[in-house]
Amino acid sequence: MWIKRWLEFFALLLFLGWVYYMESEAETVNYPWVKYVLFSVIAVFIFARQQDELAVDKDNLYYIKKSLVPWFTKTTKYSISKMKSIGCGGVFEPETEFLGRARATDNRLEIIFKDNSSCCHDVTIYKRELKEIVKRVQWLINQNSA
């Protein structure tokens, strides 16, 4: 995921260079500072946007939307003892991301609770990693129900 963000930033730098070159060829330039403001805003967006993470301890599953900027980070805590089942699906893998064949939200995490309520999250976590977390949580659910 970070490699993709660095590539986006590099593309932004190339665009800024192209704009600078185009302005150097122009006779007059109105508002030359605008390109730097736009560059700064887009660069902050590239690195500050949230990235999904999951964490598990013996009692809880944590869905974390993590950002480099601490006040953008959000954590949702789900008690494993209240879960009836958990599942996942999707096609988002490193290969599909690189080839552009899948959107980042093509993986889904679904949690069903004992009171028959449920919640779904479209996540930007690779399928293999998501399956490992789901297996771990299923094992903990089975341990709690036994």
**How does pLDDT run across 14-72, given as a tens digit for each residue?**
888 888 887 777 777 777 777 788 888 888 888 788 888 999 999 999 999 988 888 88
Say if residue 85 is in the same domain as residue 31: no
Say if residue 28 is in the same domain as residue 71: no
Q: Would you place residue 109 in the very low, low, confident or very high pLDDT band (cuts 50, 70, 90)?
A: very high
Say if residue 17 is in the same domain as residue 82: no
Say if residue 140 is in the same domain as residue 69: yes
Which residues face 51 on adjacent strands?
A: 66
Helix residue ranges per DSSP H, 56-104: 94-99
Residues 76, 53: contact at Cβ < 8 Å? no
Say if residue 11 is in the same domain as residue 30: yes
Say if residue 121 is in the same domain as residue 93: yes
Count how many domains the chain has.
Answer: 2
pLDDT (average), residues 78-105:
71
Q: Would you place residue 76 in the very low, low, confident or very high pLDDT band (cuts 50, 70, 90)?
A: very high
Q: Whats the size of the chain, residue-wise?
A: 146
User: Could you tell me the pTM of the whole model?
Assistant: 0.71
pLDDT, residue 102, reads 45
Which DSSP symbol is given to 118? E
Res. 105: pLDDT tops 60: no
Q: Would you place residue 146 in the very low, low, confident or very high pLDDT band (cuts 50, 70, 90)?
A: low
Q: Would you place residue 92 in the very low, low, confident or very high pLDDT band (cuts 50, 70, 90)?
A: low
Output 134 or 4, whichever has higher pLDDT. Answer: 134
Sheet with 60-66, strands from edge to edge, namely: 51-56, 60-66, 74-79
User: For residue 25, what are the domain limits?
Assistant: 2-48
Say if residue 36 is in the same domain as residue 84: no
The one-letter amino acid code at 84 reads K
Say if residue 135 is in the same domain as residue 110: yes
Q: Would you place residue 6 in the very low, low, confident or very high pLDDT band (cuts 50, 70, 90)?
A: confident
